[in-house]
Amino acid sequence: LADGEVTLQSALWSEDTQIMVDCLRKLGFMVKVEADPEEFCNRTITVGGLGGKIPNAGTREKPLELFVGNSGTAARFLVAFVALGNGVYRLSGVPRMHERPQAALFQALRQLGYRVDSPNDRMPAIVQGAGPRPGVCQVSIEESSQFASALLMCSLVAGWHVEIVGENVEESAYVYMTREMCS
């Protein structure tokens, strides 16, 4: 989303992080990963941002495939992000990922005018990116605060106004922190 390079230092090199790096590279972003001299399980990750533009996309006949494994974080953030692209993206994961909730995020994107196809509002899903499209949506955080965080992070570039509904006592602090960072 940033315009230019962003460097994350001491990033945990977990399966979720590795999946996100792989997906960003598949989307066409420059991502450099270097060992962290202070901690063997961390990395310094540099991402070349393009101000919300996504270099690679697929077509309706051949969507760009993004495999998110069992990373709910990568899945949710990427679903919102690829809506800003201009093309078709298919997100899938391991069988357990296909059982995890996504409906609140998919419905919010549909309210914003994006096409999200999924037989049961879970993964796998096909997202038709249509670029930034100002609009208003509501998203519930009852199942996960990541739905709101994903939308809020993209909102400045996309022109979205995100109304958050529902309660999630354990996770609502993440939403409000994301809102502050994105405003």
pTM of the model: 0.91
Distance CA 63, CA 3 (A): 26
Token pair of 82 as six digits: 């690829």
Query: Does residue 181 have a pLDDT over 80?
Result: no
pLDDT tens-digit map of 97-145: 999 999 999 999 999 999 999 989 999 999 999 999 999 999 999 999 8
In degrees, rounded to 5, the angle at the alpha carbon of residue 42 between the alpha carbons of residues 174 and 178 is 15
pLDDT higher than threshold 60 for residue 170: no
- Hey, what amino acid is at 171? E
